[in-house]
Structure 1
Amino acid sequence: MAGGAHIQTIGVSHTYKGGGAKVLGQIDLEIRPGEALALIGRSGCGKSTLLHILSGLSVPSVGKVLVDGALITEPSPSRIMMFQAPSLYPWMSVEQNVGLGLRFNGKMKEAGHRIPEVLELVELGDYAKRNVQDLSGGQQQRVALARSLALKPDVLLLDEPLSALDAFTRHALQRDIRRICKDLGITLILVTHDINEAVMMADRALVLKADPGDIDAEIAIPIPGGRLPSMQEFSDVRRQLVAAYEAAAGLTMAEAQGFISDKSLNAPAPVERLAAN
């Protein structure tokens, strides 16, 4: 299905109020409609700041963001952000939480058919009446995903919402979010420290360097169909991303050793551990 928003940044840089060093240098970027783009880099490189600017939650100090040719200066229900915590109301049922975006945007007339639709999309069709406190962490993130999809966004932005989940739950959600966005024609932008996650979910990855944050490398991820870490194509792209990450972060060879091992989904990649430091 065609769709999704076309996003451009033109000369975007950012310095937080109060002065200090630039968080972002100069970002000129184009994201194609329906593309899945990953932003990778170690802590402090400005990737979350860039994500917030793309969403409209922040306004750049310099430059502009265009979505389908229109200047973006504020958030919109057409661009939905998912954060690390699912931020659900624990006293509400699954369907009540999913309907919150519709309620806040005056679209409750659509709730009767829209809520069941999105719950089926995220494989929670039988959980509508359940209290969210009774769900696992992965199921709660699926509720947050359903809430995000209920408004039929053109852009879905992920600020590491899967980072606290166990490896197998995380892998399932990575696969399902990519599939849903492709099926619905949603432009997907994700921030991650996890190289495997970028290869699993994105069509293209941008590796950012710090001081100030800027795009240091661009890696295409042309893997058709379903993706598994055991695939040769997956390993090949992962090696490219590890090398680009190493160069952007200024890591030594000793720090880089072991980065390209794909033996287990259970163990976090060394890149993920270093970036968290």
Structure 2
Amino acid sequence: MAEIIDGRQLAKDVNQETKQRVDKLREQGIQPGIVVILVGDDPASEIYTRNKHRKATKLGFKSILKKFPADVDQATVMAAVEQYNADDSIDGILVQEPLPDQLDGLAITNAIRPDKDVDGLHPLNLGKLYANQPGHYPVACTPRGIMTMFDRYNVDLEGKNAVIVGRSILVGKPMAALLNNANATTCLTSIHTVDLPAITRQADILIVAAGSPHLIKEEDVKEGAVVIDVGINRLASGKLTGDVDFENVSKVAKLITPVPGGVGPMTIASLMQQTVDMAEWRHNG
């Protein structure tokens, strides 16, 4: 039976470390600042942004939740990004997805200053990650949180077969780069991959971020694998479930994340952690 990775407890530990770093910065007269831009009234986005705002405030950040109506135009959102780009009290800018159809999300992301791109989605930061360049730059928060899980649970990545299901720019692609940079042998797949189970069964480390409830079954997983479930799906019953059949896959895996309570809390903790990083980089080099 698998050991369950407790994302909630790990996030508490990371947040405690972050709070100590915030306190040290504030002793120097520096308060980390983050702004989250929310467009429209998508219920899930409302919850996510509110949770981020509350956590940032609790940790001692300057936190701004900037809301726009669903019918806002491109120029108004771009002007807000430029405002916070120029605001010296803001270290990190995040635009909550999804955005309404009339907005060009790519243009908005690309308008964020790379050194304030707390989500790690600017092409310059992605390029540095893929090139495995040295130096300071942000990376996508969910993959960063997963790498923290591997570190805290002593998961050895070197030489291991790592399979990622889902190729999004938020999770799959930066996750593949981070694993490659850690010397894992990485395979990036999707729900369109022919005979996907034949590939997932080879994985020592399996990360699933496809947005498909219970896509991965017990027979799709190698005995002793580490299984990270990024999926969050709401069933007709209202219950939240992941992309992995947790009950049965946990019989064969060595380590597994639950949904909820696994990757989700670590994503927010990593966002807070990275905002403090960016404040330290900006002020202390």
TM-score normalised by L of structure 1: 0.32
Instruction: Kindly indicate which of the two structures has a greater share of residues assigned to strand.
Output: 1
Q: Which has the higher contact order (CA 8 A, sep 6+)?
A: 1
TM-score normalised by L of structure 2: 0.31
